[in-house]
Structure formats: C-alpha cells, structure tokens
Structure 1
Amino acid sequence: MKILEFLILGKNEEILPILLRLVNANENWNGVSFNDEEIAQKYFLNNKIDIVLLSSGIEDHVEKEFTSFCLKHQPEVEVIEHFGGGSGLLKSEIQHRLYLKGKI
C-alpha cells in the first residue's frame, strides 16, 4: 500500500502534536505539522501531499484561503477538517473520505 503524506495545520499547541502522533502511528501514513500557514504553504509547494488535515484554532478566512491554495496547486489533495473527537474519529474521518474518493 502507498504511504499517504499528510500536512496538518492547526493553531492549538496542545492538540497539534497529538494529531501528528496519531497520524504517524499508522504505518501507511506519514505526517508533518505546522502552526503557521505561510510555512505550511512553502512545505506544500515543495512536497507531494495526499491529505491536508485542518485542526482547531484556525480562523475561518485562513482555513478557506489555505484550502484554496492547496487545491490550486495540487487539485487531487484531500482537505479534511478535524476539530476533535478522539483518535477513533480521526481515523474514521480519513478512511471515510478516502473510501468516498475511491482511494481505498
């Protein structure tokens, strides 16, 4: 199975490392996390990303701008909003989206 590359963007300093740990706990997922959208954009431009995971603390206009940016530069990327609910919900949200897109 292909390793899926994740970019996680969030502003909550307590939740962001937890999300990164949960993503990287899956042997088929590899994630990096950022709390600054400009740094995340630079990383995004230089790497092939499969999934952008948006976490808590992001202002609405930043979320919309970042999503538009990602889709403009990599139209096949999946952007998923995750604002809590535990590790089971996170995995379920990701797998559900991938299933709907025919990627699993």
Structure 2
Amino acid sequence: MQTTILYIGRDTEITTVMNRLLNARPEWKGICVCNDEEAIAICQQQKIDLVLLGNGINHEEEVQLKGKILALMPNVKIIQHYGGGSGLLYGEIMMALD
C-alpha cells in the first residue's frame, strides 16, 4: 500500500526536486505544491498520510496551514523538511511514519 505524502513549499525548483524524490520510491506517492490553497484542496479530496512543510513558509503561515490541515485530517502527521540529501529525507519520513 502506498503512503501518500503532501509536500508544501514556496520554491518551485525545490518543489520539483521533492516531487522527483518522493515519487522515486514505489511505496510513496508524492504530491508537491507551492501554495496553501492547492494544498488544502488536495487534503479535502484525498487521504494524506504525511505532510512535509518545506522552506519559505514563515511561522504565521505554518501555524495557519497546520490548523487548516488538522481541522480536515486530525490524525495526519505534519513535519518540517528544510533540505538535506535524499537519505535525510528518507530518514525523516520513516521516523514520522513509525
């Protein structure tokens, strides 16, 4: 069964890289967006197992975004991912899913 991971970041180039990394693993389905409205719409339409918050999201945006996501999916895990290699990304995701 695939784990669906939603990545929300502000940098389009990094979001493109994250999309490639998340979808490179057959056990993951990565959905990567750059704006909050699109992220919320995705949360309303499908089950998300993990949300990654990427770079460029300020503290106020993060608080609001977490509140909206958790109102829709109270049990979803939300973690911050600000970069690093694919090994670090894998480790962060595996730790969050355990």
TM-score by length of 2: 0.94
Q: Which residue of 2 aligns with 1:64?
A: 63
Aligned length, in residue pairs: 98
CA distance in 1, matches of 2:13, 2:70: 27
Is structure 2 residue 44 aligned with structure 1 residue 29? no
Secondary structure class of the residue paired with 2:13: coil
CA distance in 2, matches of 1:39, 1:26: 23
Shift of 1:86: 1.1
Q: Which runs of 5+ in 1 are unaligned?
A: 100-104
Shift of 1:61: 0.9
Shift of 1:97: 1.4
Q: How does 1:4-83 map to 2 (within 5 A)?
A: 4-83=3-82
Shift of 1:44: 1.0
CA distance in 2, matches of 1:97, 1:6: 11
Q: Could you list the per-position Cα deviations for residues 24-72 of structure 1 after superposition, in whole angstroms to 9, with x for gaps in the alignment? A: 1111100111111012111111111111111101121111111111111
TM-score by length of 1: 0.89
Structure in which a larger fraction of residues adopt helix: 2
Q: Which runs of 5+ in 2 are unaligned?
A: none
Secondary structure class of the residue paired with 2:51: strand
Query: Percent sequence identity over matched residues?
Result: 37
CA distance in 2, matches of 1:43, 1:18: 20
